[in-house]
Amino acid sequence: MMALQQNLRGQLQQQQSLSRYTSWRVGGEAKQVYRPADAADLALFLQQLPEDEPVLWLGLGSNLLIRDGGFPGTVIITAGTLQQIDIDGLSLSAEVGVYCSKLAKQAAKAGMKGAAFLAGIPGTLGGALAMNAGAHGGETWDFVTGVTTINKHGQLRQRPASEFKVSYRHVALPDGEWFIAANMQFEQGDAEAESSLIRELLKKRNASQPTNQPCAGSVFRNPPGDFAGRLIETSDLKGLTVGGASVSSKHANFIVNDGSATAADIEALIYLLQDKIEQLHGVKLIPEVHIIGEAN
């Protein structure tokens, strides 16, 4: 194991199960997990990693399936750590560990219009930036004006939004760089109206999604002109099960863990759904969930 300097202020743990860090509650071990104290501490930590060390960034672990064999490298946890938010008029800057729901509520409180959709995203700003997360008709990069990235050498770089190729649920990030913060611009709105909209969206989400069960958000991207959930539901595939994983009876584009599922169960169910929808409808569903790590 590499020797790390004593002046790091974050928390480093070896051989950690990643199931506790993912919303599906599955996943094998990582070689090590680091919780940085702040951005400066994170930069110092990255400077000490070997050049070829695999690195995985984790917020709330939604939209992610880590295989049962785990991740053979370093996992950096941002949730609960990189949580600085600054507001200036209608401009907002936030670090990637900020929960999307918190960002939405802070923006609403400041009288900003447009951020309410973020309350429906069960993750952190970092994940929302990486995949251009969206909900209720809004998408993250509609409001991003610039970002701060960090590379493996701990070097920070400011980049305007115009440098990024952004599409549906995808953002092309320069090799060897990761998002660490973003600047966002919103319109003038009414604080009470925006706060009321957030409450309404959360109520709708709780009514239509299995928020009380381990899941990872929408499993598949919506195909052009259609909805993945509609295709699955109309194919009578709600309740389809592999091991401890099943298609939610509440929302067909969600897979839930009954408490006994392995990552292999969930991955097998994803592929089974793809095959069935392609056979029945001629549509190849593309996973929105990122599948990483090694199989057992």
User: What domains appear along the chain, each with residue ranges and CATH number?
Assistant: 11-77 (3.30.43.10), 85-208 (3.30.465.10), 228-292 (3.90.78.10)
Task: Kindly tell me if the per-residue pLDDT of 4 is higher than 70.
Answer: no
> How confident is the model at residue 1, as a pLDDT?
46
**Is residue 218 flagged as an active site residue?**
yes
Q: Quote the tokens at residue 271.
A: 């592929």
**Is residue 35 flagged as an active site residue?**
no
> How confident is the model at residue 6, as a pLDDT?
65
Average pLDDT value for residue range 265-290: 97
> How confident is the model at residue 5, as a pLDDT?
64
- 25, 35, 67, 169: which is the annotated catalytic residue? 169
Burial class (CB within 10 angstroms; exposed 0-12, middle 13-18, buried 19+) of 202: middle
If pLDDT is split at 50, 70 and 90, which confidence band does 218 have?
very high
Across the chain, what does the average pLDDT equal?
94
pLDDT digits (tens, 9 = 90+) for 119-176: 988 899 999 999 998 887 889 999 999 999 999 999 999 999 999 999 988 899 888 8
If pLDDT is split at 50, 70 and 90, which confidence band does 3 have?
low
- 101, 218, 246, 248: which is the annotated catalytic residue? 218
Residues 137 and 144 sit within 8 Å (Cβ to Cβ): no
Q: Which residues of 70-99 are buried (b: 16+ CB within 10 A; e: fewer)?
A: bbebbbbbbbebbbebebeebebbbbbbbb
Q: What is the pTM of this model?
A: 0.90
**Is residue 221 flagged as an active site residue?**
no
Which amino acid is it at 37? A
Pick the closest to residue 76 from 23, 38, 123 (CA basis): 38
Task: Kindly tell me if the per-residue pLDDT of 192 is higher than 80.
Answer: yes
DSSP label at residue 99: B
